Chains A and B, each alone.
Chain A
Amino acid sequence: GAGVSQSPSNKVTEKGKDVELRCDPISGHTALYWYRQSLGQGLEFLIYFQGNSAPDKSGLPSDRFSAERTGGSVSTLTIQRTQQEDSAVYLCASSLASGSETQYFGPGTRLLVL
Chain B
Amino acid sequence: AQSVTQLDSQVPVFEEAPVELRCNYSSSVSVYLFWYVQYPNQGLQLLLKYLSGSTLVKGINGFEAEFNKSQTSFHLRKPSVHISDTAEYFCAVSPLLSGGYNKLIFGAGTRLAVHP
Closest CB of chain A to B97's CB: distance in Å?
8
Q: Which residues of B contact A104 (CB under 8 A)?
A: 46
Q: Cβ of A56 and Cβ of B43 under 8 Å apart? A: no
Q: Cβ of A4 and Cβ of B43 under 8 Å apart? A: yes
Q: Cβ of B108 and Cβ of A100 under 8 Å apart? A: no
Instruction: Classify chain A: how many residues form its interface, as a range.
Output: 20 to 34
Which residues of chain B from 74 to 116 have any CB-CB distance to chain A below 8 Å in the complex?
90, 92, 94, 99-109
Is residue B71 contacting chain A, with contact meaning CB distance below 8 A?
no
Q: Which residues of B contact A35 (CB under 8 A)?
A: 104
Closest CB of chain A to B109's CB: distance in Å?
7
Q: Which residues of B contact A108 (CB under 8 A)?
A: 43
Partner of B100, one of A33, A98, A107: A98
Mark the stretch among A40-48, A65-73, A77-85 that contacts chain B. A40-48
Partner of B104, one of A45, A99, A106: A45
Partner of A55, one of B32, B36, B99: B99
Inter-chain CA distance A20–B34, complex, in Å, is 30
Partner of A106, one of B43, B49, B90, B101: B43
Q: Which residues of B contact A50 (CB under 8 A)?
A: 101
Q: Cβ of B105 and Cβ of A45 under 8 Å apart? A: yes
Q: Which residues of B contact A99 (CB under 8 A)?
A: 100-102
Q: Cβ of A42 and Cβ of B43 under 8 Å apart? A: no
Q: In the complex, what residue of chain B is closest to A98 when comparing beta carbons?
A: B101
Q: Cβ of B104 and Cβ of A56 under 8 Å apart? A: no
Closest CB of chain A to B100's CB: distance in Å?
5
Partner of A107, one of B32, B41, B51, B109: B41
Encode contact with B along A28-64: 1 for CB under 8 Å, 0 otherwise: 0001010100000011110010100001100000000
10 closest A-B pairs by beta carbon, nearest first, are A105-B43, A43-B106, A98-B101, A105-B44, A99-B100, A107-B43, A42-B108, A45-B103, A106-B43, A98-B100
